[in-house]
Structure 1
Amino acid sequence: MPIELPLDDQEASTDVPLTTQLVRFVVTGAGSGVLDYGITYLLQFVFGLPPWLSKAFGFLCGTTTAYLINRRWTFRAEPSRARFVAVALLYLVTFGVQVGIYTALSHAWEDTFIYSLMAYVVAQGTATVINFAVQRAVIFKIR
């Protein structure tokens, strides 16, 4: 079974209003995004790793954190192997989208903090829209 994250003791339910889900998704995403970008920046600019590898590590840490919190708190869904596999596939797609956009913009723009941050925001924003739409419409409807 996937890892549990006990954020509250209320029974899980997918009957959470869209507004509540959206707010929780944004809050969770913001925290996970800070983790993702912090790791990406640290690895790229402090340790000198290439942008694609730095973003890959940041993405893995951020999305793992986001999934654990979103499953339990945002969408209030029970653990499910099928859902876990579906999320892994979705994250594989958004991984390609994020790393691809970040790397392309990193090569197109000057290698500075502000351009790195802008590349991150564009890549993360694109993946966030994809993630929310697919998770709400498909993944957290899986039993």
Structure 2
Amino acid sequence: MSPRIRAYGSPTLVPVSGTPHAHEPHVPLPVEIPVTESIADESLDLKTQIVRFVLTGGLSAVVDFGLYVLMLALGLQRDVAKAISFVAGTTTAYLINRRWTFKAEPSRARFVAVVVLYGVTFGVQVGLNAVMNNVFPDEWWRVPLAFVIAQGTATVINFVVQRAVIFKIR
């Protein structure tokens, strides 16, 4: 018998080779990375989740910023480049956090909830950054401090809502 893995968002099992048996229809969705048989069986304590969330956020920021700089270097318009890099970074964060930080099974409802949350926290981040830039004096530290406050606030909101609500969704 060949090893099997689950196609994302599908209860249908397909062989690792990607060729379904006659009684198993192929589902054209991305394949999950096989980490454990049932990832939901193992929950992590708060400290471990926070550490993993921060590490995932760091990697996602590298994806976001790296793609942003690359697209700017290739001549893409700034706002378009930032929108694409934001989507890439937040998608990276969701996929890793779902699997590694919160040990949750795939769920379309959860994915939609994360998209809504990221939309809200994006607005909070951009708005708070603008407010802080207007409140602080025009000193060298204004821009980095406003960025850290806005990013930190968005990160805390993301963690709390994901841990308490989103990754409880079945």
| TM-score bracket, shorter-length normalisation | 0.7 to 0.9
The residue aligned with 1:96 is 123
TM-score of the aligned structures, taking structure 2 as reference length: 0.64
Question: Please, what is the CA RMSD of the aligned residues?
Answer: 3.4
Identity %: 55
Alignment match, 1:12: 39
Amino acid at match of 2:121: T
- What is the identity, as a one-letter code, of the residue corresponding to 2:92? T
Report the counterpart of residue 85 of structure 1 in structure 2.
Answer: 112
What are the ranges of 5 or more consecutive residues in structure 1 without an aligned counterpart?
Answer: none
Alignment: residue pair count: 139
Give matches, 1:32-47, under 5 Å: 32-43=60-71, 47=75
How has the CA–CA distance of structure 1 residues 67 and 19 changed in structure 2, closer, same or farther, with 3 Å as cutoff?
same
How far apart, CA to CA, are the structure 2 residues paired with 1:48 and 1:61? 16
Structure 2 alignment gaps of length 5 or more: 1-8, 10-28
8 Å Cα contact 1:5-1:68 kept in structure 2: no
Report the CA distance between 1:95 and its aligned residue: 2.3
Alignment of 1:104-123 (within 5 A): 104=130, 120-123=147-150
Computing the radius of gyration over CA atoms, which structure comes out larger, 1 or 2?
A: 2
More helix by share: 1
* Alpha-carbon distance between aligned partners in 2 of 1:100 and 1:37, rounded to the nearest angstrom: 20
How far does the alpha carbon of each residue in 1:53-84 deviate from its partner, in whole angstroms, 9 at most, with x for none? 44322211110001001101110001112211
TM-score (structure 1 length as normaliser):
0.75
